[in-house]
Structure formats: C-alpha cells, structure tokens
Homo-oligomer: A and B are copies of this chain.
Amino acid sequence: MSKIAKKEPLCEEIAGKGCSLKKVLDIIGGKWKIMILCVIDYNEVVRYGQLNRAVDGITNTMLANSLKELEADGLVERKQYDEMPVRVEYNLTPKAKSLIPILLELKKWGEENL
C-alpha cells in the first residue's frame, strides 16, 4: 500500500492528542484557574487569604491545588516570608503575563457574543 494512511482531510495537529491547544486547556482549564490568574494579574501581588476571599465560592482545597499546579506549570510564583504569622505572596510569571491579553480577547468575545 503506497497510500498515506490519512483517510480524512483532517490534521492530527488540530485534533490529535498532541495539539497544543489541548495542552493549554489542560493548564488553564478547570473551574478556577483562569479566575485565579485574572485576580493575581489585576492586583499584581496577592496573598493566599486575599485570593480565597476574592475568588467567589472557591474552597481551600481547590485554591491550594490550583495554585500548586499553576506554580508547577510556571504561571505563578510563590514567595514565602517566614514572619510571624507566615506571609505568602503570589504573582504572575512573565509567561503568564503574556497569556493575559489573549484571555482578555476571549473575554471581549464573550461579552460581544454571549
């Protein structure tokens, strides 16, 4: 069979497992992450408790989990100051900041189309 095994005119790059769009959604998907990113961006620097009060309805479990994942994915930076009581601050990495404009476009699209 000299045939290239593409039965359909559809590309793996678009719909396949490796699609980078899918990866992006894996990272910023879920129920809370985008809102967390936006709140940090809006405030530049935020403390844990601030986020907890700011993101409407989030629980400790989800906030802690989301922050850990965002940090692991290089979107959020965590700084801990060992004062008493402990103070922890979060801010966006440059990588995350470069994502914000796109999210704002998405938001704008939502306002115009929903």
Contact = CB atoms under 8 A, between A and B. Distances in A.
Interface of A: 7-12, 14-17, 19-25, 27, 29, 34-35, 38-39, 42-43, 50, 53-57, 95, 98-99, 102-103, 105-107, 109-111, 113-114
Give the oligomeric copy count. Answer: 2
* Interface of chain A: mostly helix, strand, loop or mixed: helix
Contacts of A106: 21, 24, 102, 106
Which among A8, A10, A95, A107 has the highest number of chain B CB atoms within 10 Å?
A10
B21 A38 contact: yes
B8 A54 contact: yes
Contacts of A105: 102, 105
